[in-house]
Amino acid sequence: MTRALALQAGLGIAAGTAGLIILLRPSAARGLLRMEASEAATYAMRIAGMMLVALGLFLTGFALAFASAGGVA
Residue 73 has pLDDT above 60, yes or no: no
User: Rounded to 5 degrees, what are φ and ψ at 71?
Assistant: -70, 150
Give the tens place of pLDDT for each residue, 13-71.
999 999 999 999 888 888 888 888 888 888 888 999 999 999 999 999 999 999 888 86
Banded model confidence at residue 72, pLDDT cuts 50, 70, 90: low
Q: State the pLDDT at residue 11.
A: 95
Q: Is 38 helix (H, G, I), strand (E, B) or coil?
A: coil
Mean pLDDT of all residues in 1-18: 91
Q: State the pLDDT at residue 69.
A: 87
